Structure 1
Amino acid sequence: MSQLLVADIGGTNARFGLVELSTNAGQQNYGAQQQKTLKCADYPDIATMIKAYCSQVGASLPPYACLAIAGPIEKGWAQMTNLNWKFSIEDLRKEMGMKALDVINDFAALAYATPFLPAQDIKPLYTAKSSQDSAIVVLGPGTGFGMAALVPDHTQTQRGWKILPTEGGHCSFAPTTDKEMAIRAFLAQTDDHVSIEDILSGRGLVSIYRALSHINGTPAQDFTPAEVSTKGLADEDPTCREALVTFCNILGSVAGDKALSLGAKGGVYLGGGIIPKIASFIPQTDFVSRFKHKGPMSGYVSDISVNMIINDTAALVGSAAWLINTALTMRGE
């Protein structure tokens, strides 16, 4: 066993790579080689897509793999939240002819990646005196809204981590300004539950834009998430700009809420497919002030650093690190 398959499979794109397993744990490199991104919509199921990747890079199916997916994993079954794929992990392993196949939540993989990411993959947004021995929370928008935590594992002889996967993106959206309340009211006309993901995601950015167009009395164009983002960043359309600012401000409030809920004194990391595209814009918004605006707990969150993960393949690092340090170790391999 010298090569491992890792993947980060979201609602739109699936990123794959191969990791060489080192015989010397101290020299292990978790970076994936032969990386390739495939469109999920081009394949009928996950097995076909995995085989297509291996065929395209000219590699045999490795005996061990770790897939990070955007959705929950329960009782041996994996369900994609924003893609109509549900599969038995054991059945997929048998179909692939693998010795072992591990499937974890995509933000769990992103969380596990944070201790192993090189400095160039991280862009500080707000620096504070975060604790080195406390929980870390990783969250952010993409096709959906993901969230996971990393907590120190004191049962190991060496410093280790345990992943706490969550479905925090499906918590109810809590507006904090009059305009945000109007945005929620607009969305509630068609959705009986307005979640964080309904606001902080690609489709959520479009929803904010449509709601603001209605509130401001301007016609809404049939923009895609990328168009709203691009026009907002370039200041080509005032409503797109306002939508992007609102998006970032709400993200600040949500990040502060999650930091409080999980006691994330180890820091907050923003990830997901959208963050690398708007990383330079976020500091121009009220993200930080909204992050810290927590009443009597403002001092608490003010001691928590916020970093942006600007490498959109970081979950591959987390998948590899988790597979090598946890799954294979537990099996004694």
Structure 2
Amino acid sequence: MSLLLVADIGGTNGRFGLVEFDAEKIGTNGQINYTAERQITLKCADYVDMATMIRTCCAKFGVDIPDYACLAIAGPIENGQASMTNLNWKFSIHGLRDQLGMKTLHVINDFASLAYAVPFLKENELVTLYESNKSNPDAPIVVMGPGTGFGMAALVPSQNNWKIIPTEGGHASFAPTNEKELDIKSFLLKEQSHVSVENILSGGGLVTLYRALAHNSGVEAKPYSPADVSTKGLANEDPLCREAVLTFCDVLGEVAGDKALSVGARGGVVIGGGLTPKLMGLLPESHFLERYKNKGPMAGYVSDISIRLIVNDKAALVGSAAWLIHNTPELKAH
């Protein structure tokens, strides 16, 4: 039995978990539990660097630093060097491993971790938004999600494992498909030269939609936060906030269909991130599904692709554990 340390570390919080792993289950096709039964969350601002936070985390768990770990971080990883986008933390992966006395340390992008979690999530951690019995389990899956930004990755089956193809799909151009959205893009083009999917489908995008709708209605926009727009929109307290969240759902459907076509995601579309679960109740009132299928001659193609929503807000920890277990040869032989 090995104790594995997994983490999902963003600009504000570091979520850590301990996973008990029995390597014999891989060889006997036993049921592997990728869920960290013990979890804690630490504030990144309380620590000077990654090593200090990991040491504190293990002390709080009351364990020695495990030999095996996988950190999912919000930031780029290149040539063995990791940088946290919203923290002034940069570190060498091998250097951190040696500093902490670990045998193996993986560091992957946080959205890659979320994507890798998908095949290993339990049934109650996913909600089906649209069901098709024609999805192909041997085809790629596209995982996308609006949160602070808009993340996107493809999962491709590869020799009894999954290969992650990270993308920058959130920075693709926003493509309006009706007069209202053309007006929204026209408003935004007066402020910036490029309007991306992320400019619309993100926490900040909710505010962007609200401001654009207010401007185009001749109404002065109030200084709302993303939480204000979503809360007032869901409660129908402000008609422009309501329109903003419904427009958000419409565009989400459109983009989900676009990404499914671009990736050839016959294995399914999976939506993650923190925003969509909160807006899930509005999807039937919106044109989400209609816009998902609105692909002209390819309408039948996307209609054969199911859509699922991740409702486990700690799914990235599952992805980190699965990545560590399935991509560490010495762990399998341990």
TM-score, with length taken from structure 1: 0.91
Distance 1:171-1:316 versus aligned 2 partners, 3 A rule: same
2:35 is the alignment partner of 1:31: yes
Equivalent residue, structure 1, for 2:222:
221
Q: Give 3-state SS (helix, strand or coil) of 2:270's partner.
A: strand
Q: Give 3-state SS (helix, strand or coil) of 1:250's partner.
A: helix
2:141 is the alignment partner of 1:136: yes
Equivalent residue, structure 1, for 2:188:
187
Post-superposition shift, 1:83?
A: 4.8
Q: Give 3-state SS (helix, strand or coil) of 2:284's partner.
A: helix
> What do the CA deviations read for 1:178-213 (whole angstroms, capped 9, x no partner)?
222222232233332222222211111111112212
Equivalent residue, structure 2, for 1:51:
55
- Contact map agreement 1:72 1:167 (CA 8 A) in 2: no
2:171 is the alignment partner of 1:166: no
Partners of 1:196 and 1:124 lie apart in 2 by 23
Post-superposition shift, 1:146?
A: 0.8
Paired residue type of 2:179:
D
Partners of 2:69 and 2:139 lie apart in 1 by 29
Q: Give 3-state SS (helix, strand or coil) of 1:222's partner.
A: coil
Partners of 1:303 and 1:110 lie apart in 2 by 24
Equivalent residue, structure 2, for 1:196:
197
Post-superposition shift, 1:127?
A: 0.5
Paired residue type of 1:308:
L
- Contact map agreement 1:148 1:164 (CA 8 A) in 2: yes
2:8 is the alignment partner of 1:4: no
- Contact map agreement 1:12 1:143 (CA 8 A) in 2: no
Post-superposition shift, 1:296?
A: 1.0
Equivalent residue, structure 2, for 1:244:
245
TM-score, with length taken from structure 2: 0.91
Partners of 1:2 and 1:174 lie apart in 2 by 49
Distance 1:328-1:213 versus aligned 2 partners, 3 A rule: farther
Q: Alpha carbon RMSD of aligned pairs, Å?
A: 2.1
Partners of 2:49 and 2:241 lie apart in 1 by 35
Paired residue type of 1:35:
Q
Post-superposition shift, 1:93?
A: 2.1
* Unaligned runs of at least 5 residues, structure 2: none
Distance 1:292-1:188 versus aligned 2 partners, 3 A rule: same
Post-superposition shift, 1:321?
A: 0.8
Equivalent of residue 100 in structure 1, options 96, 101, 104: 104
- Contact map agreement 1:10 1:143 (CA 8 A) in 2: no
- Contact map agreement 1:276 1:311 (CA 8 A) in 2: no
Paired residue type of 1:211:
A
Equivalent residue, structure 2, for 1:149:
154
- Contact map agreement 1:65 1:100 (CA 8 A) in 2: yes
Partners of 2:150 and 2:68 lie apart in 1 by 28
Q: Give 3-state SS (helix, strand or coil) of 1:147's partner.
A: strand
Paired residues, number? 329
Deviates more, 1:267-276 or 1:214-223: 214-223
Partners of 2:330 and 2:284 lie apart in 1 by 41
Deviates more, 1:131-140 or 1:37-46: 37-46
Equivalent of residue 115 in structure 1, options 93, 115, 119: 119
Partners of 2:212 and 2:251 lie apart in 1 by 15
Partners of 2:323 and 2:201 lie apart in 1 by 27
- Contact map agreement 2:125 2:311 (CA 8 A) in 1: yes
* Unaligned runs of at least 5 residues, structure 1: none
Partners of 1:110 and 1:288 lie apart in 2 by 23
Paired residue type of 2:193:
D
Deviates more, 1:59-68 or 1:69-78: 69-78
- Contact map agreement 1:137 1:264 (CA 8 A) in 2: yes
Deviates more, 1:243-252 or 1:93-102: 93-102
Partners of 1:258 and 1:121 lie apart in 2 by 22
Q: Give 3-state SS (helix, strand or coil) of 1:280's partner.
A: helix
Partners of 1:178 and 1:79 lie apart in 2 by 41
Paired residue type of 2:149:
G
